[in-house]
Amino acid sequence: MTSDDGQRLRAVIETAVDGVILIDADGTVQTFNKACETLFGYAAAEVVGRNVRMLMPEPYHGQHDGYLRRYLDTGERRIIGIGREVAARRKDGSVFPIELSVGEAQQGDDRSFVGIIRDITARKQAEQELSDSLERLRAVIDTAVDGVILIDADGTVRTFNKACETLFGYPADEVVGRNVRMLMPEPYHGQHDEYLRRYLDTGERRIIGIGREVAARRKDGSVFPIELSVGEAQQGDDRSFVGIIRDITARKEAETALLLHTRELERLNRTLKRQSEDLERSNSELRLFASAASHDLKEPLRKIRTFGDFLLSEYGDRLDEDGQRYVEVMVDGATRMGRMIDGILAYSRAGLAELEIGEVDLAELWHAVCCDLDIQVEEAGAVISAEELPVVEGDAARLHQVFQNLLSNALKYRSPHRPLRISITAERRAAVPGRDECVISIADNGIGFEQAFAEAIFEPFKRLQGRKGVDGVGLGLALCHRIVRLHTGTIEAEGRPDGGATFRVVLPLRQEVRHG
């Protein structure tokens, strides 16, 4: 080697990117290049002439001398001519990974060794990060609630996570390495290979990147619905597919249940609608009947009364007393029947139409009722006293009917033995929280009734008295009962024979808005 060659070699070593160390057979450092100074933090002067183990952490530090000796004695190589990853120590004591390749140089008996050192901290870190993230990914995949299956382009399963084991009943090792179609029932089972091939050939997608509901097969052969979304991963020419699987048995069952419920609801709705139509029809038939009754049924009665009246006024003088009485009885009967029809009509109409709810001042209403019946009040010589009465929500016309009937009753069933006194009083109470009501009591000192009949008197056509001396058709209280019930109120009666009667009407102060 010329000195020029030596000069050139030294320049190469000094400018090399990798660290270059030359040691002799004792391990003493002969050369320590610039790159080494940067790598280890030592100046060359601090290292040259000293044992190279100063650059090694344990266990290399303690073993190096022995290793070197053994190699020189036996030729057993651990690193020389091979190169491996080892650890190195900087001047500050910190340790870092290096890739070390060692070559041997022999000049006569003089053996020396050249170490080429590359700092692989960054590579190691990258490797660590990769392995960390792979680990993390595996952990994520394994703890995922959804099943995750990775297959390659042939359909061979590469990954089968824990959730899949639970879903399919296979341990991973029974599936990995086998074709994924084992997890599919027909028709998917038979079509999958073909499908995969077609996709790889043509790019035609049926599921990849889309996701859909399909059927899956467990180890025990049972089939269950899954939602499958498939993604594609491509690394170079290597294509693989990731399937995310969610068992939707519960959702399907819920959907089915919902569907059944919906159908049931629809059926009930139809029934309800039909019934409501039936009701509407029967109501309108009833209205028609009421209208027919009001005109057609009353027509013949009117004839009897009119012509009976003619008979009496024009031919009365040709009839004897009996004959005149017969005609009077006929006319009287027809008159009563007409009133009865009116009563039935009023009773049935009361339940047919919607209430017309408004503010009703019961004091005004009572005054109006008294005015309507002033002739009868005068005739009966009744003394009427009224307390302060509340304002309620209700159907004014219908409530008028109620109180008119009650006053009319008190007037009719008066006692011949004492002057009639009628009083109306009101009291407020809250029967149920949120429902304020008033109790209107109409009390008289008339002939009263047996308490045993207190409920029966509200039945249609129920009369406790004979017709003698009292007109009416026995529908007044039934009508009252019906109207008060329509207002979600109650009506009750209390009486004693010859001891007067009290009617108590309980009405809520507010009517709930009802939608027709």
Q: Residue numbers of the site for other proteins (CB under 8 A)? A: 294-295, 298-299, 302-303, 305-307, 309-310, 313-314
What is the smallest separation between the CB atom of 437 and other proteins, expressed in angstroms?
A: 30
Nearer to other proteins, 73 or 314 (CB): 314
What is the smallest separation between the CB atom of 313 and other proteins, expressed in angstroms?
A: 5
What is the smallest separation between the CB atom of 309 and other proteins, expressed in angstroms?
A: 4
Position of tokens 């009509």? 345
Are the beta carbons of 424 and 389 closer than 8 angstroms?
yes
Nearer to other proteins, 172 or 341 (CB): 341
- For residue 35, how many other CB atoms are within 10 A of its CB? 21
Q: At what angle do helices 396-412 and 362-372 cross, to 10 degrees?
A: 50
Nearer to other proteins, 111 or 303 (CB): 303
Are the beta carbons of 331 and 337 closer than 8 angstroms?
no
Phi, psi of 141 (to 5 degrees): -65, -40
Q: Is the peptide bond before 187 cis (omega within 30 degrees of 0)?
A: yes
The Cα–Cα gap between 179 and 176 comes to 8
The Cα–Cα gap between 247 and 46 comes to 68
In terms of DSSP H, where are the helices of 16-120? 34-40, 44-47, 60-74
What is the smallest separation between the CB atom of 395 and other proteins, expressed in angstroms?
A: 14
Phi, psi of 314 (to 5 degrees): -100, -30
What is the Cβ-side half-sphere exposure of residue 306, based on CA atoms within 13 angstroms?
A: 6
What is the smallest separation between the CB atom of 389 and other proteins, expressed in angstroms?
A: 26
> Among candidates 110, 219, 208, which has minimal Cα distance to 166?
219
Are the beta carbons of 141 and 148 closer than 8 angstroms?
yes
Q: Is the peptide bond before 460 cis (omega within 30 degrees of 0)?
A: no
Are the beta carbons of 311 and 325 closer than 8 angstroms?
no
Nearer to other proteins, 135 or 309 (CB): 309
DSSP conformation letters of 200-252: HHH---SSBTT-EEEEEE-TTS-EEEEEEEEEEEEETTEEEEEEEEEE-HHHH
What is the smallest separation between the CB atom of 311 and other proteins, expressed in angstroms?
A: 10
Nearer to other proteins, 232 or 328 (CB): 328
Three-class DSSP category at 295: helix
The Cα–Cα gap between 506 and 439 comes to 4
Nearer to other proteins, 138 or 302 (CB): 302
What is the smallest separation between the CB atom of 312 and other proteins, expressed in angstroms?
A: 9
What is the smallest separation between the CB atom of 295 and other proteins, expressed in angstroms?
A: 5
Specify which residues 115 forms β-bridges with. 21, 102
Nearer to other proteins, 61 or 298 (CB): 298
What is the smallest separation between the CB atom of 372 and other proteins, expressed in angstroms?
A: 15
Nearer to other proteins, 63 or 294 (CB): 294
Nearer to other proteins, 109 or 314 (CB): 314
What is the smallest separation between the CB atom of 329 and other proteins, expressed in angstroms?
A: 16
Report the sign of the C-alpha dihedral through residues 497, 498, 499, 504, in that order.
positive
Are the beta carbons of 152 and 158 closer than 8 angstroms?
yes
